[in-house]
Amino acid sequence: MRRGSAPDDKPAPGFIGAHLLPLATSGRTGPSERREATMILEVLLAVVMASDHPAGTPAGQPAVALHSQAAPAKAIGGLWEQLGVAIRAEDTAAALTSAKAIAEHPDFAAETAERRSLITVLLGLLYSGEGQDAAALPYLIEASERPGASVDVWFARITSHARTDDRTAAARATARLLALHPDVVSNLSSPFILQIENSDEVDPDAAFELRRALQDAGWRDRFDSWIWVRLIDDLRERGRDDEAVELVGRVTASGALMHLHAMRRYDDLRGAAALADLDIAAILEAELQTRRTEAEASGAEFEARNAYASGLFNRGRFDEALAFTEATLALPAPEPATEDDRSLTWTMDARARALMELGRRDEAIAQMEIAAKRDEGGGTNVSQTINLGWFYLRAGENQKAIEAVKSLQAGSASPFGIMQAMHVRGCAGVALGEERIAGPAFAHMEQNWRDAPLTWVEAQACRGESDGAADTLLRILGDEDLSDRAVGAMHTYLVSQRATEFDRRVADALAVAVARPDVVAARDRIARALVIPTLSNQF
């Protein structure tokens, strides 16, 4: 067994990806599973057809885009007709030009209230469809606040909030939508919900509102247990323990259940809910069999197949994990830019990890190199770029590790991602004896350690600073917002039989830090240590 950071059932590499936020804010994954462009065109056509003005093209006349004309029609009726032409041609840019001209027309004030409302909706949807979310929001907010506002308008509003990085507004708007239309809960995008609900940039009260709305609407997801754990914490902080007790039964995933049993603050809650004793091995086995059923179902998505492969890997069943990832890779290639296509990158990642643990390092690195070159939202594939650097580091190819992550600087990845990149740079620099490389990387990590606390602990371990790592663990254990992470790192896990020299060196330094008496005492005050028959998270 070895110490390490806790594996869990939260969104993670091998499931839906480590860097979800760029997906939800780039337009590739929004709050709804529906294709945004299709939704907009459907709504626009319905809105225009509801008008009494001509909305189509006379029989036999070809549809033309508005921007191909020399000048817009001056009569408002002609503008409505041009709007219909543009929509039928699926030319949102032309439709936006026409809708703006209608809104600015001197006769617009004389239009009926219904038609003026329709233009408000159109401008919001069209601006959003053109990626001009800041311009769209005033119209979408006004339109969605009206009685009887459509679900599609609410989805467009939430998407624009997310894409303008106002995650608090996105959380509150999603909660409002669920209160008005709880039946749409099945249309919500799981990646979007998971990264908005648990974002540090969302106001705590707004996150609480969203969690309650998800509970009331009956939301279910593979990763929902952690939302209920956070909602339990929310309720207890507000003195609503009776409501918190009712939520305990919704916590079913292994990692979340282990959390409830490890942290002493839940002892009274577990008693009140009559929660059964923890049988970790049985829970993990049942969970793995559920994932297997999902993965082997006809038409299973690549995400479900990756989840099963990750479950096999975490239990040290590397041969089976490798075989299953290779079977996934042998399936017909997904269509580009689909969820399966994005999950395919993580299938490659999972295959590389299994190869690494089986001692086939050259093949593992070659596979991760391919994964790192795959597109991630039109930019650098941050997740696999970091993982490639980590593979090189573990294999002792330190110069290649530094080169792999050199493109990742502030602004090119999340603060957490930058910490991972600096971890690779710093540890590779230490191995090479290059202080000019290691020094700045360690300085960044020390200054920004709260962005990834356990990364800083492991970085100190790779430098052989067991006392420094122990001191950081004490800081984390003493921090109400971070202590849970340190507890997870101090459980006992399976040991990889293929540990590299780098792995062993870091593990030895961490073992000294974790065993320091003051660190053990600090942990025992708030939690109890568990023995968990899985591997800890590698990276």
Residue 420 shares a structural domain with residue 458: yes
Asked which of 167, 184, 201 is the last residue of a domain, the reply is 184
Q: Provide the 3-class DSSP secondary structure of residue 338.
A: coil
Burial of 442 (0-12, 13-18, 19+ CB in 10 A): buried
pLDDT of residue 93: 87
Asked which of 153, 184, 215 is the last residue of a domain, the reply is 184
Classify residue 425: in a domain, yes or no. yes
7: CB partners within 8 A, 6+ apart: 255, 314, 493, 532, 534, 535, 536, 537
> φ, ψ for residue 51 (rounded to 5)?
-80, 150
Residue 140 shares a structural domain with residue 68: yes
Please tell me which residue, 223 or 309, carries the higher pLDDT value: 309
Can you tell me the distance from the alpha carbon of 138 to that of 166, in angstroms, rounded to the nearest whole number?
14
Q: Provide the 3-class DSSP secondary structure of residue 500.
A: coil
Residue 370 shares a structural domain with residue 480: yes
Backbone region of residue 490 per phi and psi (left: phi > 0; alpha: psi in -120 to 50; beta: other values): alpha
Please tell me which residue, 110 or 53, carries the higher pLDDT value: 110
pLDDT band at 71 (very low <50, low <70, confident <90, very high): very low
pLDDT band at 539 (very low <50, low <70, confident <90, very high): low
Can you tell me the distance from the alpha carbon of 163 to that of 18, in angstroms, rounded to the nearest whole number?
19
Residue 485 shares a structural domain with residue 355: yes
Classify residue 146: in a domain, yes or no. yes
Residue 345 shares a structural domain with residue 482: yes
Q: What is the residue range of 303's domain?
A: 2-21+279-526
Classify residue 351: in a domain, yes or no. yes
- Would you say 392 and 380 are in contact if contact means Cβ atoms under 8 Å apart? no
Q: What is the CATH number of the domain that holds 495?
A: 1.25.40.10
Residue 178 shares a structural domain with residue 113: yes
**Looking at residues 232-242, what average pLDDT do you find?**
96
Residue 90 shares a structural domain with residue 8: no
Residue 91 shares a structural domain with residue 146: yes
The answer, yes or no, to whether residue 18 has pLDDT greater than 60, is no
The answer, yes or no, to whether residue 14 has pLDDT greater than 50, is no
Residue 10 shares a structural domain with residue 77: no
Report the 10 Å Cβ neighbour count for 273.
Answer: 18
- Secondary element (H or E) of residue 52: none
Q: How many domains does the chain have?
A: 2
Structure token pair of residue 346: 């993580």
Residue 381 DSSP class: -
Q: Provide the 3-class DSSP secondary structure of residue 61.
A: coil
pLDDT band at 30 (very low <50, low <70, confident <90, very high): low
The answer, yes or no, to whether residue 390 has pLDDT greater than 70, is yes
- Would you say 125 and 153 are in contact if contact means Cβ atoms under 8 Å apart? yes
> For 241-244, which contacts have Cβ atoms below 8 Å and span 24 or more sequence positions?
241/269, 241/272, 244/269
Can you tell me the distance from the alpha carbon of 28 to that of 189, in angstroms, rounded to the nearest whole number?
11
pLDDT of residue 25: 31
Can you tell me the distance from the alpha carbon of 196 to that of 170, in angstroms, rounded to the nearest whole number?
8
Residue 502 shares a structural domain with residue 406: yes
Residue 271 DSSP class: H
Classify residue 203: in a domain, yes or no. no
- Beta bridge pairs of residue 376: 379
Burial of 237 (0-12, 13-18, 19+ CB in 10 A): exposed
- Would you say 262 and 483 are in contact if contact means Cβ atoms under 8 Å apart? no
The answer, yes or no, to whether residue 29 has pLDDT greater than 80, is no
Q: What is the pLDDT of residues 98-148, one digit of tens each?
A: 999 999 999 999 988 888 888 999 899 899 888 899 999 999 999 999 988
Q: What is the CATH number of the domain that holds 60?
A: 1.25.40
The answer, yes or no, to whether residue 48 has pLDDT greater than 70, is no
Can you tell me the distance from the alpha carbon of 396 to that of 107, in angstroms, rounded to the nearest whole number?
73
Torsion, CA 492, CA 498, CA 504, CA 507, rounded to 10? -20
User: What percent of the chain has a predicted confidence (pLDDT) above 70?
Assistant: 85
Classify residue 360: in a domain, yes or no. yes
Residue 322 shares a structural domain with residue 180: no
Classify residue 243: in a domain, yes or no. no
pLDDT of residue 156: 92
Tokens 């091995």, residue located: 281
Residue 175 shares a structural domain with residue 291: no
Asked which of 133, 163, 184 is the last residue of a domain, the reply is 184
- Would you say 97 and 75 are in contact if contact means Cβ atoms under 8 Å apart? no
User: 200-221 burial, b for 16+ CB within 10 Å, e for fewer?
Assistant: eebeeebbbbbbbbbbebebee
Can you tell me the distance from the alpha carbon of 524 to that of 533, in angstroms, rounded to the nearest whole number?
21
